[in-house]
Chain A
Amino acid sequence: MSSAGPTRTSDSLADVVEMLLDKGIVINADIVVSVGQTELLGIELRAAIASFETAAQYGLQFPEGTNMQRVEAASGRDQLPEAEEGPLAPVIDAADGSDAEETSEEDDGDADTEETNEENEGDDAEEAVEADGDTETTEATAEPEGDDADG
């Protein structure tokens, strides 16, 4: 009986993300000058978070047209389970996401100098992105080698 109540542990972060990005009242009233990009923001955030920490973990749907394999590779989720913070834009760019490519002009938000304690993790994430690039290069060159072996 004691365990019968609902929980809101760290596991339910997935619920928080999903609800906040997908649910709730959407206002589009003419009476206020709405910035009008709530939906766009939601999509971008979803892609960013999901590519970063894997979709499955957050229980997120990717926008249609997202190249899942690239996202999976780019998120490097096997290599860097710890790297929770860091620049997202390059990762998304690599993922060929049509929704996301406009957001990749800046590597780092210029407004966030306050978070000095997260720099290390950010570095980790950058390394992982680079590592991913290496992997793709390796794959690309693997085939010609195979041809050589045949011949």
Chain B
Amino acid sequence: MSAPAADPGTTVDDGRYLYCVVAVDEGEAGTDWTESNAVDDAEAYLVVADGIGAVVHRCERTPNPNDLSTVKRSLLRHQHVVDAAGDAFGTPLPLRFGTVVEGGDAAVREWLVETAATQRRHLDAFAGKWEYRIEVGWEEDALAETVEASDDRLAELAETLDDSSEGTSFLVQKQYDKRLSDLVYAEREERVAALAERLDPLVEEMEELGRPAVSLEDADGSDSGPSFRVAVLAPEENEIPIGDVLDEVKSNPETTDVQYTGPWPPYTFAPSLDDEESNDTGSGSADRGSEAGGR
């Protein structure tokens, strides 16, 4: 390998670009599965060993990060292939974009054999379940109005404010603002918690995704934007019930944004095969409890 680390589109020797791992029954016709229109216009196919199959295509280069138009197309085609594999074989274990191994099908097969037990365990655990992504945002001003209308102490302060002199009013105003902002924060937290609680019986795992983006305008993080952003792992049949919960949230006037995407392969919940192989304690999922709430 002569390529420097960041050389665009590193050349590889008998490379195999990896998409995902799926459960297959060897001997069935399904092992002939292929999918055209893969990344780099290649054809994706299965490499099977021990009842699991890796979806790969032959490649001579890794994706070139300098060429964005190709990258964007590759991202979509990568997802297209993983989707097709999921349709054919059930929930796949997705690999991170841009994973290339050298050594041809033999190396892929060897890797499958090495990790078969772990992979099989995870494939079974994920069977019939998919990742869904949920974002809900609340409008600060509307929340403030709701809070103002219902809090006695705020009403009291507002009354005092009307009656006070200029000097006093400054201090009362500060008190008022402080209480209002505390209450708005609490209100939002309460809504987040309530939503997480309602989703809890419908989902198997929930993982917070943090803020959606680095905001270019206010890097210090304002109060606006989604307050609830999670990936959930849920059985396929719970798609609509989850959507119903979100529809109710959406009908709430203080809600600014509800996004519900999926079904995705379990990207967020994909196991870390290496760790488990090295530890091999047999309790790989113990470290990933479900997590709820937050912003």
* Residues of A bordering B, CB below 8 Å: 1, 3-8, 11-17, 19-29, 31-35, 37-38, 40-42, 44-45, 48-50, 52, 54-62, 68, 71-72, 77, 84-89, 102-104, 106, 108-109, 111-112, 115, 118, 122
Contact = CB atoms under 8 A, between A and B. Distances in A.
B65 A11 contact: no
B213 A56 contact: yes
Given A35-B15, A61-B213, A86-B69, 8 more contacts: A6-B261, A11-B261, A21-B96, A31-B107, A33-B103, A49-B71, A102-B4, A112-B70
Given A20-B78, A49-B71, A102-B5, A6 B244 contact: no
Given A40-B6, A85-B68, A102-B6, A27 B95 contact: yes
A117 to B, nearest CB: 10
Most buried by A among B64, B78, B96: B96
Most chain B CB inside 10 Å of its own CB: which residue of A4, A12, A21, A48? A4
Contact of B133 (A3, A15, A21, A45): A15
Given A6-B243, A31-B107, A25 B96 contact: yes
B202 to A, nearest CB: 12
Contacts of A17: 75
B8 A109 contact: yes
A60 to B, nearest CB: 6
How many B residues touch the partner, as a band?
Answer: 35 or more
A32 B16 CA distance: 10
5 contacts: A1-B240, A4-B240, A24-B265, A85-B68, A109-B67
B180 interface: no
Interface string B242-257: 1110110000000000
Most buried by B among A20, A24, A58: A24
A61 to B, nearest CB: 6
Contacts of A109: 8-9, 64, 66-67, 70
Contacts of A89: 66
A11 B259 contact: yes
Given A23-B270, A27-B274, A61-B213, A118 B69 contact: yes
B223 to A, nearest CB: 16
B98 A106 contact: no
Contacts of B212: 14, 56, 59
B163 to A, nearest CB: 45
B75 A111 contact: no
B260 A7 contact: yes
Given A16-B75, A56-B213, A88 B244 contact: no
Nearest to B10: A35
A31 B214 contact: no
Nearest to A35: B100
Contacts of B107: 31-33
Contact of B270 (A24, A38, A57): A24
B65 A103 contact: yes
Interface in B85-105: 93-103
B18 to A, nearest CB: 7
A131 to B, nearest CB: 18
Interface centre among A19, A28, A45, A62 (most CB of B within 10 A): A19
B48 to A, nearest CB: 16
Contacts of A31: 107, 110-111, 114
Contacts of B76: 13, 16
A59 B257 CA distance: 15
Contacts of A32: 101-103, 107-108, 110-111
A38 B96 contact: yes
